[in-house]
Amino acid sequence: MTACDPAPAPSRSGPVLDCGGRPLDLGRVAVMGILNVTPDSFSDGGVFFAPERAVERALAMVEEGADIIDVGGESTRPGAPGVPVQQELERVVPVIEALVRAVPVPVSVDSSKPEVMRAAAAAGAGLINDVMALRAFGAVEAARELKLPVCLMHMQGEPRTMQRNPRYRDVVGEVRDFLRGRIEVCIRAGIQRDRLVVDPGFGFGKNLAHNLELLRRLSEFKVLQVPILAGLSRKSMIGAALGLPVDQRVHASVALALCAVQNGAGIVRVHDVRPTRDAIRMLEAVAGCGRMRSTTME
């Protein structure tokens, strides 16, 4: 019996998202690096506010293996206040312009405002990541006009109130039905299914039990026939389960990312790129090794 030596991770059939001319290959799990340009993010608020610091951080994440950089100018942590359109534009547009010149991977914008979506696309952003699933007035029309991929996320309530007392009869069924409905709205509006991604919204109007149930049953979202994005990095569910502060949640975040990948996630959105990337690539290598060994033995 021979050892299974490390080898390039096996490819799997999957879509390639055209992110404004920059491809995001989902034939293997993609790692989305989080870049907050806000003063009040729960994890790294104010750290990468200036464009030069943002570019420095983005380049480091690409070096660590990030496949796409997600830029957000409005905190969506529980209880976070809203940000005026102009202020969000001033935060994200200079950063996106600088990133597009500096990094070789796609850049996405984390925003629910159609004005920000349009300005970000003009600056070079290649994907819209919307925690409101295009429910803001004019957002569907903006996404249709921009012809960029869109990630539709589920959130019960809004950031200011979402964690007060979230309730579901069947969290998986309700979240899945919501996302199915938003996909149908997009398709009717002229946004092709192959431009859509869904995110069940871990931590957005869910308690610990809801989040764990969503993760256990994440594979049930495959029926939506679009890629699944999972954002679990440093989330409060880790604090609730393990009693850890934000700066001590790296290992648990990596474990949750692996659970998400095993249950069908094609994109993981993370703060800590290198440990997550390494863990996922090893998971893929083991899966590939198992397939090769099985083929050899048959």
Catalytic residues: 235, 269
Per DSSP bridges, beta strands 229-231 and 267-270 are: parallel
Decide if 215 contacts 260 (C-beta within 8 A). Answer: yes
Phi, psi (rounded to 5 degrees) for 35: -130, 100
Q: Which two tokens mark 49?
A: 């506010």
Q: Rounded to whole angstroms, what are the CA distances from 161 to 69, 156, 241, 257?
A: 28, 9, 22, 26
The residue with tokens 């999972």 is: 230
